[in-house]
Amino acid sequence: MTKPRLAFIGTGGTIASLGCGPLDLVDYTANGVLLDAAGLLARFPEVREVAEVVPVPYRAVPSTRLGFADWKALLLLCERLAAEDPALAGIVIGHGTASLEETAYFLSLTLKAALPVVLVGAQRPASALSSDAGLNLVNALRVAACEQARGLGVLVVLNDEIHAAREVTKTSTGRLQTFRSPDFGALGHADGDRITFYRRPLRRTAPDTEFTRAPSPRCRGWTSPTATPTPTARRRAPSSPPGRAAWSRPASPRASSPPGRRRRCAKRWRRA
């Protein structure tokens, strides 16, 4: 039986960390060892039993160092992988849990690739006794390869649970069941014998998202087609370098306020 072909992007985090020993569950970051995508897959050879996994190079860092520049880079990387490899069934991104929900939320609003994209992390380092890194990784790959995962948007998989990126949040620093969707609950479970989904999100999400990359080279950020920047905002926006993707965001009320009104507000603040 042919195994599904998946891409794995490793960005570091606890799931890729190696501590000083199997009982190093807290200060493992002091060891300074983070596995890249290929190294993490090699540490857990069981991944080969569920899929043909292609490691994709990326920088391995604690997730507190990942920000908007990395979100954009990961977005473009996922779209490039989907475009260049039509046989790809899905993409898994290994990520630290400190900012995993922020990256997942951004991708859920902006990603245009139709294949499943799953973010996965761990609460215990890969070197720890009873680490959750290996099983979380295998389950994330299984979910990404699942046909039922298509059309659900970006997903988050930890502790056998499947969550929607727009709904999930981290609730605990150390507990394995840290990721929760408080208002709606998990989308499904990755059990030992099957992947099971119980519901589908109704809100628009990747790839059917209302956000698009702005066509104008004078814009920066992301914008919704229903949000048109004011002439003032367009005039103030700096130009992007030639050949680089342009991004835009809707103008803030302050940016579109008349100059006289802004000066009066400033005077009131100074008097206070």
Residues marked active site are found at: 14
Q: Roughly what angle, to the nearest 10 degrees, separates helices 68-84 and 100-110?
A: 50
> What is the C-alpha radius of gyration for the chain, rounded to an integer number of angstroms?
21
> Which residues, 6 or more positions from 136, have their beta carbon under 8 angstroms from its beta carbon?
15, 120, 121, 122, 157, 158, 159
The type of residue at 181 is S
Decide: 147 and 183 in contact? Cβ < 8 Å: no
Q: Does an H or E element contain 231, and which? A: helix 231-236
The span from the CA of 6 to the CA of 3, in Å, is: 9
Identify the DSSP state of 215: S
Instruction: Name the nearest CA neighbour of 125 among 26, 269, 8, 233.
Output: 26
User: Look-up: residue for tokens 């973010």?
Assistant: 119
